[in-house]
């Protein structure tokens, strides 16, 4: 006889119900999870309730109720689900039972049945799934999780959480700005931040906190350091540098999520105090009056001096403007002809400018070279009613606003004296290349006020009509509603049949240097405009696409992937990727483009610059300048416009185009006119060059290009060029090679103390062999494997190879107290090669850091020597290493190349051939293991000169293979951007 006819579920948990209706005797059962303890990740209690009608049938009375239960599945893999069922019994008059110690996130099956004198009746079943619990974080109470602190960063130790009912789905680092009037939170566990807020949204919306990072659980299998403020992006959340004058609380959250249920646990792990300012000294009131009088007198004197100095500067600048830069071009040309080599033209031109500037006063006014830049380009006299606008930009057919950048329809390179396309205004005249360094330094003084003032003088916003772009049928074709195409300069597509609105694409023609419509500036295609984009490429006969964005940045889609990895059809176009060349800072893809109904097959190259950071501008311009030169060389003279896009087609796109134009102008005329170039671009497309930071970067990039010059040499010309470079000039007692090395030294960035703040920490002093050769913070490979109280610092720097970012790790020879750190570095960064360029020397603190045979343990890393062989000047040792704290990760095979051909007293190896053989051996090994993805550690005594030479030659070897050119200057300059002591002597 069945006494339960119906089960109704009323619960906070997820429940699945099955019931067997019997004899229509009403009974209701309910289950509810008791909340206590659930939020803390403890075992969950659950209360099972039932209601029934007490019935007498044939004088049969219920004696007891029996409940059996067992777990049948769980979200938590640690919970056993195949155990035997458990049974409890209740008296006949009970209506509920509390089950203790149930696991979170687990489904249990309950069977309940009642007994009479005749025995047990049929059972009724119910499935109940308990809520998941928040993960359990380690107790940070009283524990200082801070490992290191600088003015703009704080490095903390993150420790993994324990899952409760569901696997960890993510870790989050939350930064809360400290305010004196805000109630302080208690340390330890607390209410969590449930709503993710990016830094940008926090700044615009006034939120008191922001998410600095979100880390997948696989990134934290064991305690690991994390630097808050490292200016990187994690899962779409930007981790910006912290403000030195502000204080912050750092919170660590662990989150578990399953289906629609999410639980989070949060703990405060560190607090960064605001940097304190020096206390203001209050002067003695009795002395204050005399002091004010003295200050006033001094200030008046300084003011008079400044006024006189300004007058002198204006007079001098006015005189300087009367001398054409063609004079210096001819000096450079004479030297170039004497050399018979075009390679050193720009470098020697810059040197000639500096040496010849003092002799300008010997020129006479009637000298044909002594004409102004304005006269040289045949500008008309100014209009009487407009003293500031050159008449050349105003004529009967064109307005000044729309056509100030119109170029003449002439070949790209003409003889001297050709009219310049970008007109020089009196308020912002063109700047001679010789004066560019001085100009930039002046503009950067007083906290970049000069650049700030100049940039803010640009007209911001819409300056021409864009009626077509605003049409309803075209709105979906615009990625951003405020960056759209002006009517007068837009690219008009040939309409698709029966669709008159199909002539629109968010793109504008931009004039190049002496080439009208040399560029097309456009947005990154959206899904709806991919077909239109390829229509434009075909219609304009473009051969080069320049992409200056990544597909996704800071978690936001910046550009739709409009190209195929293999072959794809877009409308009536077939696009096939035939080659891809990945490099450290950009990728070159070659496509064939076919159109249905046409027999022609065209080749289109896409140059994708990947080295632009998510925020701001690149740290240096070396990579972008190399990228621009590559595009120049690849674009056929007869091709259509170069298509340039970022995301909006304004900021980075504008930077690229301005730099390209100004490099042409500097080469042809010896002047640059950045301000008027930007102004002209903005008349063609809205807000080209979008930030002051980008505007300053353009100046720095052009300066670097002018100072360094074109240094690439085709392989076929290298032998002759090399012998010419090492020839000693009898007049200067120097060579072109030494001059170039001097130029390299002058453009190498100098590291400041704050750049190496982590290496300078007192606790890291004994880990540095030389305190004047320290790695900058931005290039440090932080150690991940924990070794007791040892810090995560090692004197090493990550550097790019020719094809792979961060492929090299350059470090000093391990000190006796850093050998364990060295092997942690090898393991943590997956290094498959070690190149040793100096000798074991105990007198210099250079111990043998490897086992000659057998196995040795260095801290948590176990190293086993598998083989040792000799090949000319190289000893090859193969090691098998493993991390004893993470044995499940297996082994890493590493080969050490100990080079014996470089004596300690020599600046260069004894044999060029053997050193080149070493490089090729390392390259071959790298290709054989880890699919070429393993890193290479290079070390010498100081991690500079010898290591730099190895890296530089390795880069040049790859350059020769890939591009058939030699550019030693670029290779060393790239390395020195990361560590200035790379390659120390000419």
pLDDT band of residue 599 (cuts 50, 70, 90) is: very high
CA dihedral 899, 902, 905, 908 (to 10 degrees): -140
Tokens 């974080």 sit on residue: 137
Q: How far apart are CA 948 and CA 932, in angstroms?
A: 21
Nearest C-alpha neighbor of 913 from the set 873, 965, 876: 873
Predicted confidence at residue 190, as pLDDT, reads 56
Q: H or E stretch including 295?
A: helix 285-320
Indicate the class that CATH gives domain 14-129: mainly beta
Q: Are strands 64-74 and 86-91 parallel, antiparallel or unpaired?
A: antiparallel
pLDDT band of residue 836 (cuts 50, 70, 90) is: very high
The residue that leads in pLDDT, 126 or 49, is 126
DSSP string covering 302-329? HHHHHHHHHHHHHHHHHHHTTS-THHHH
pLDDT tens digits for 141-162?
Answer: 666 677 888 888 899 888 888 8
The residue that leads in pLDDT, 180 or 547, is 547
pTM of the model: 0.60
Tokens for 654, please give them.
């504008």
The residue that leads in pLDDT, 681 or 290, is 681
**Is the pLDDT at 881 greater than 90, yes or no?**
yes
pLDDT band of residue 695 (cuts 50, 70, 90) is: very high
Residues 596/606, Cβ–Cβ less than 8 Å: no
pLDDT band of residue 284 (cuts 50, 70, 90) is: very low
Q: How far apart are CA 5 and CA 28, in angstroms?
A: 8
Q: What is the CA radius of gyration of the chain?
A: 36
**CATH 3.90.190.10 placement within the chain:** 432-694, 748-976
Percent helix, strand and coil across the chain, each to the nearest 5: 30, 25, 40
CA dihedral 584, 588, 589, 595 (to 10 degrees): 160
Nearest C-alpha neighbor of 253 from the set 187, 159, 171: 171
Question: Percentage of the chain with pLDDT > 70?
Answer: 74
Residues 431/672, Cβ–Cβ less than 8 Å: yes
Q: How far apart are CA 506 and CA 648, in angstroms?
A: 9
Lowest mean pLDDT among 177-186, 306-315, 457-466: 306-315
Q: How far apart are CA 721 and CA 507, in angstroms?
A: 43
Lowest mean pLDDT among 50-64, 658-672, 679-693, 833-847: 50-64
Tokens for 611, please give them.
């080295």
Q: How far apart are CA 698 and CA 674, in angstroms?
A: 8
**CATH 2.60.40.10 placement within the chain:** 14-129
Q: How far apart are CA 591 and CA 576, in angstroms?
A: 5
How distant, in Å, are the alpha carbons of 211, 227, 295, 573 from that of 255?
A: 14, 20, 61, 46
Lowest mean pLDDT among 60-64, 773-777, 906-910: 60-64
The residue that leads in pLDDT, 229 or 291, is 229
Nearest C-alpha neighbor of 856 from the set 876, 881, 834, 827: 881
Count CB neighbours of 582 within 10 A.
13
Residue 701: left (phi > 0), alpha (psi -120 to 50), or beta? alpha
3-state secondary structure of 643: strand
Which CATH code, of 1.10.630.10, 3.30.230.10, 3.90.190.10, 2.60.40.1080, is assigned to 432-694?
3.90.190.10
Q: How far apart are CA 675 and CA 689, in angstroms?
A: 11
Predicted confidence at residue 858, as pLDDT, reads 94
Residues 67/112, Cβ–Cβ less than 8 Å: yes
pLDDT band of residue 52 (cuts 50, 70, 90) is: low
What residues are labeled active site? 646, 940
Predicted confidence at residue 485, as pLDDT, reads 97
Predicted confidence at residue 306, as pLDDT, reads 55
pLDDT band of residue 14 (cuts 50, 70, 90) is: very low
**Is the pLDDT at 609 greater than 70, yes or no?**
yes
Mean pLDDT of 95-114: 78
Encode 10-34 in three state secondary structure: CCCCEEEECCCCCCCCCEEEEEEEC
The domain made up of 748-976 is a member of CATH 3.30.420.40: no
Largest CA distance in the chain: 135
Mean pLDDT of 632-648: 95
Encode 575-593 in three state secondary structure: EEEEEEEECCCEEEEEEEE
pLDDT band of residue 302 (cuts 50, 70, 90) is: low
User: What's the gap between Cα 344 and its chain centre?
Assistant: 33
């Amino acid at each position: 006889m069945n006494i339960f006819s119906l089960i109704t579920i009323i619960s906070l948990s997820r429940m699945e119900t099955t019931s067997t209706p019997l004899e229509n005797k009403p009974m209701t059962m309910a289950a509810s999870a008791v909340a206590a303890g659930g939020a803390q990740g403890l075992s969950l209690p659950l209360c099972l309730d039932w209601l029934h009608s007490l019935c007498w049938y044939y004088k049969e009375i219920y004696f007891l109720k029996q409940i059996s239960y067992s777990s049948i599945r769980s979200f938590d893999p640690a919970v056993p689900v195949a155990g035997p069922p458990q049974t409890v019994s209740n008296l006949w008059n009970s209506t509920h039972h509390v089950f203790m110690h149930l696991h979170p996130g687990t489904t249990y099956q309950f069977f309940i049945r009642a007994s009479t004198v005749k025995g047990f009746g049929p059972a009724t079943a119910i499935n109940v799934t308990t809520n998941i619990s928040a993960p359990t974080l380690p107790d940070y109470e009283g524990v200082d999780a801070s490992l290191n602190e600088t003015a703009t960063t704080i490095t903390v130790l993150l420790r993994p959480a324990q899952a409760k009912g569901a696997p960890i789905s993510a870790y989050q680092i939350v930064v809360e700005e400290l305010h004196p009037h805000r109630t302080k939170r208690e340390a330890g566990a607390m209410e969590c931040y449930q709503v993710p807020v990016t830094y940008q949204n926090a700044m615009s919306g006034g939120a008191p906190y922001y998410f600095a990072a979100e880390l997948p659980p696989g990134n934290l299998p064991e305690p690991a350091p994390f630097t808050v403020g490292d200016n990187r992006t994690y899962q779409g959340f930007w981790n910006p540098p912290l403000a030195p004058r502000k204080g912050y609380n750092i919170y660590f959250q662990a989150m578990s999520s399953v289906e629609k249920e999410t639980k989070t646990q949060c703990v405060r792990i560190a607090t960064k105090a605001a940097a304190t300012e020096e206390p203001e000294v209050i002067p003695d009131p009795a002395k204050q009056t005399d002091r004010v009088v003295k200050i006033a007198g001094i200030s008046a004197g300084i003011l008079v001096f400044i006024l006189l100095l300004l007058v002198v500067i204006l007079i001098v600048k006015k005189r300087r403007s009367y001398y054409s830069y063609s004079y210096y071009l001819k000096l450079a040309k004479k030297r170039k002809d004497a050399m018979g080599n075009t390679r050193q033209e720009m470098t020697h031109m810059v040197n000639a400018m500096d040496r010849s500037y003092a002799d300008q006063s010997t020129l006479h006014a009637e000298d044909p070279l002594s004409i102004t830049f304005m006269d040289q380009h045949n500008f008309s006299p100014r209009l009487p009613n407009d003293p500031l606008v050159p008449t050349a930009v105003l004529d009967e057919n064109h307005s000044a606003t729309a056509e100030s950048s119109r170029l003449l329809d002439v070949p790209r390179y003409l003889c001297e004296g050709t009219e310049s396309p970008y007109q020089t205004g009196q308020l912002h005249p063109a700047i001679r290349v010789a004066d560019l360094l001085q100009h930039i330094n002046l503009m950067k003084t007083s906290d970049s006020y000069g650049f700030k003032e100049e940039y803010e003088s640009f007209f911001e916003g819409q300056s021409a009509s864009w009626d077509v772009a605003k049409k309803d049928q075209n709105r979906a074709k615009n990625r951003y509603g405020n960056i759209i195409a002006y009517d007068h300069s837009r690219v008009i597509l040939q309409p698709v049949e029966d669709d008159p609105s199909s002539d629109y694409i968010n793109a504008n023609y931009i004039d190049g240097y002496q080439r009208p419509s040399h560029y097309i500036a456009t947005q990154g295609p959206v899904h709806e405009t991919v077909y239109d984009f390829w229509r434009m490429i075909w219609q304009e006969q473009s051969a080069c696409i320049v992409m200056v964005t990544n597909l996704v940045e800071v978690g936001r889609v910046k550009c739709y992937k409009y190209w195929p990895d293999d072959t794809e059809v877009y409308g009536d176009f077939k696009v096939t990727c035939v080659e891809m060349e990945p490099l450290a800072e950009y990728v070159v893809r070659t496509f064939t483009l076919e159109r249905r109904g046409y027999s022609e097959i065209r080749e289109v190259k896409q140059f994708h610059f990947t080295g632009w950071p998510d925020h701001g501008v690149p740290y240096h311009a070396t990579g972008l300048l190399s990228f621009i030169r590559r595009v120049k060389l690849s674009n056929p003279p007869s091709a259509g416009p170069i298509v340039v896009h970022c995301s909006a087609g304004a900021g980075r796109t504008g930077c690229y185009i301005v730099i390209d134009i100004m490099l042409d102008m500097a080469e042809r005329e010896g002047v640059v006119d950045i301000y008027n170039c930007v102004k002209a671009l903005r008349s063609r497309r809205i807000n080209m060059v979008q930030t002051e930071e980008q505007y300053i970067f353009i100046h720095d990039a052009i300066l670097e290009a002018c100072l360094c010059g074109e240094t690439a040499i085709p392989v076929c010309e290298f032998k002759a060029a090399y012998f010419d470079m090492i020839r000693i000039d009898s007049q200067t007692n120097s060579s072109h090679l030494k001059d170039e090395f001097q130029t390299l030294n002058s453009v190498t960035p100098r590291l400041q103390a704050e750049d190496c703040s982590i290496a300078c920490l007192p606790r890291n002093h004994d880990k540095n062999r030389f305190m004047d050769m320290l790695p900058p913070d931005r290039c440090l490979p932080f150690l991940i494997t924990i070794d007791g109280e040892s810090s995560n610092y090692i004197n090493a720097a990550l550097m790019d190879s020719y094809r792979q970012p961060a492929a090299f790790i350059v470090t000093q020879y391990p000190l006796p107290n850093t050998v364990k750190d060295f092997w942690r570095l090898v393991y943590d960064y997956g290094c498959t090669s070690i190149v040793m360029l100096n000798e074991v020397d105990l007198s210099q603190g250079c111990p043998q850091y490897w086992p000659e045979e057998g196995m040795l343990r260095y801290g948590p890393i176990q190293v086993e020597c598998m083989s040792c062989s000799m090949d000319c000047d190289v000893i090859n040792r193969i090691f098998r290493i493993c991390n004893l704290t993470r044995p499940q990760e297996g082994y890493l095979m590493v080969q050490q190349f100990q080079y014996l051909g470089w004596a300690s007293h020599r600046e260069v190896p004894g044999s060029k051939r053997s050193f080149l053989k070493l490089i090729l051996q390392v390259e071959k090994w790298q290709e054989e293991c880890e699919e070429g993805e393993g890193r290479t550690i290079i070390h010498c005594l100081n991690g500079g000169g010898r290591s730099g030479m190895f890296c530089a030659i390795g880069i040049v070897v790859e350059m020769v293979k890939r591009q058939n050119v030699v550019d030693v200057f670029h290779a060393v300059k790239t390395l020195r951007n990361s560590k200035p002591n790379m390659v120390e002597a000419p």
